Chain A
Amino acid sequence: MEPSEQSTNGPLLRLTGIAVHYGAVVALNGVSLDVQRGEVVALMGPNGAGKSTVLKAIMGLAPVVAGEVHWQGDRLSAATHEIVQEGISFVPQGRRVFTHLSIAENLEMGCLYLDDEAEQARRLEAVMELFPVLYPKRRDPASAMSGGQQQMLALGRGLMADPDLLLLDEPTLGLAPIIVTEVFEKVAEISERLRTTIMVVEHNIKGVLDIADRAYVLDKGNIAHEGTPQSVRDSTILTDVFLGRANPGQASED
């Protein structure tokens, strides 16, 4: 029972013993992790390790059977619409932009709970400033954009809610290498300029370790490693989990 003073000093987000089961499949097996205010936290691991499930569990989009999510010291709701109102934005895998809506309309979809039109216009302008590539195309349908631009749009749409925490699920998936670099630079820029706390699930290990403050490595639904990006680079943990070795990370700790 943490008292509410946690909200100022404690972690922004804390997961304790989160377990997610999809029927008989155990996707997460008691995951505990902390996200501090202002950090960029990377979540890595092989396919099926449960990285995306962690984000979905936070957003109330996965069947959580055990464990708790605390947001600024208080228990977080399990209803997605309330979680969004708390200040958590989720940018799902595969961009998922609305191709028949214009870019400006796509962005407006990101701030549902905002009745204040002036504030909406201000945020729209701020996002356009952060993503200059979107501005000249703001009236065009999203289908007219390239994959990289759509990813920028998806990031911008996530920021329209002015979140305290931004959850990114594989933001560089399926993008050309040069665009991947741009996306990572943009994520770093969001962190620096807006001071938004970011938790990012990534396959591109080098890119994400360059921008992360801390990293978690997941393996088969469990946290296999936690530490600084350097600790991940120094350890054999990634090769171990990706190659499916028993007792991952043990060798480096000897």
Chain B
Amino acid sequence: MATSAQTDGDTAADAQAVGLVTRLIRGNIELWANLLVITWAIVFFVWQGTGFAITVGTVFAIWAILAVSLNLVVGFTGLLSVGHVGFFGIGAYTMAVLTSDASYEAARTDAIPTYGWPFFAALPVSVVLAGLVAIVVGVAFNRFRDDIFVLVSFGFAIIAFNTFLNLREITRGAFGIHEIERPAIGGWVIDGELEFLLFSLGALALVVLVSWLVVTSSFGRVLTAIREDEEAIAVFGYQVTHYKLAIWVISAMMAGLAGGLLASWTSFIDPNSFILLESMLLVSIVILGGLATIWGSLLGAMAFVLMEEGMRFLPFIPPEYVGQARQIVLGVLLVLLMLFRPQGLVGRYRL
């Protein structure tokens, strides 16, 4: 009896100790997640130097714009879209077609029309065109929700990719478009990588600001209500389809902005940048960071970019496999996340 009681006491003490540790970790998991990603970023940037930090920073800015804008639709409104990459591509191709260098294009046999627009004239067109396409697509999609919505948005991503690939008269198909403009203000071309990074971060800041204004407004509250119970909110006279269309278009315009930035930054795009997998990665980032949190999407994008860029430094992975290894790691990470932390790093809602 005595030994049994003793053992019970020990188990209880153990359980208490374990409980304390889990509580310490669980209670502050958001803090830990923040610390981890930020420390990781700082260590990485210091270790790899300025040039690397600038490149990764720019990639981060573009992914973060995409993640924050997608979160408006997926996280805040509850529409799981895997078609975001389509709007990203529309923005990028608009920029590419409008600004690519005419002399370069003329030297090619299969010349496409070139306009030689400046960056700052093309960027608004990227944004607006993505928005216009979103209106058309959104009106068609508005009757759908839940799993059917996932399927139709999937369809949109496929259609967009195939348009980029096959509309050769404009996109030059698989050959892609070269010599895309960098931003220029008067005679000053934002050519340096650092300048472009700052410009991209400025664009990201704008997107974050607009998103924040949206989600903290009464419009944002209606979106939350739509996510929770679309029928109940309709009963109060809210025309749910209007709200869904509005956020869909806002989100698509932000993706168009990211596309314009990407095209200009890489100065070359082809349809492979806009495959469905990119959309899946984006959804993963949003879930990784947390649904319905802007900060979470920023954190998720940073973690994703660090992981993507970081894996090439792992000595045991041959360079030619890095691409695939990234996807495997991301896949495993997502499974683990769904098992142990379905609300993401700093989120509160589950998918």
Contact = CB atoms under 8 A, between A and B. Distances in A.
Interface of A: 59, 61, 80-85, 89-90, 92, 96, 98-101, 105, 108-110, 112-113, 157, 161
Given A96-B229, A98-B224, A100-B228, A90 B235 contact: yes
Contacts of A96: 229, 231-232, 235
Most B-side CB within 10 Å, residue of A85, A90, A109, A161: A109
Main secondary structure of the interface of B (DSSP, over half): helix
Interface string B208-225: 000000000010011011
A98 B221 CA distance: 10
Given A98-B224, A101-B224, A109 B233 contact: yes
11 contacts: A80-B235, A81-B238, A92-B232, A96-B231, A96-B235, A98-B224, A98-B232, A100-B228, A101-B228, A109-B221, A110-B236
Contact of A98 (B225, B239, B348): B225
Interface string B238-261: 110000000000000000000000
A84 B232 contact: no
A89 B235 CA distance: 8
B235 A113 contact: no
Nearest to A157: B236
Contacts of A101: 221, 224-225, 228
Contacts of B348: 100
A82 B348 CA distance: 35
Contacts of A82: 237
Contacts of A99: 228
Interface string B323-351: 00000000000000000000000001100
Contact of A108 (B218, B234, B239): B218
Given A84-B236, A100-B228, 19 more contacts: A59-B235, A61-B234, A61-B235, A80-B235, A82-B237, A84-B235, A92-B235, A96-B231, A96-B232, A96-B235, A98-B232, A99-B228, A101-B221, A108-B221, A109-B225, A112-B237, A113-B237, A161-B236, A161-B237
Contacts of B233: 98, 109
A109 B237 contact: no
B239 A109 contact: no
A93 to B, nearest CB: 10
Contact of B238 (A83, A92, A112): A112
Contacts of A59: 235
Interface string B80-108: 00000000000000000000000000000
A117 B229 CA distance: 25
B238 A98 contact: no
A240 B347 CA distance: 54
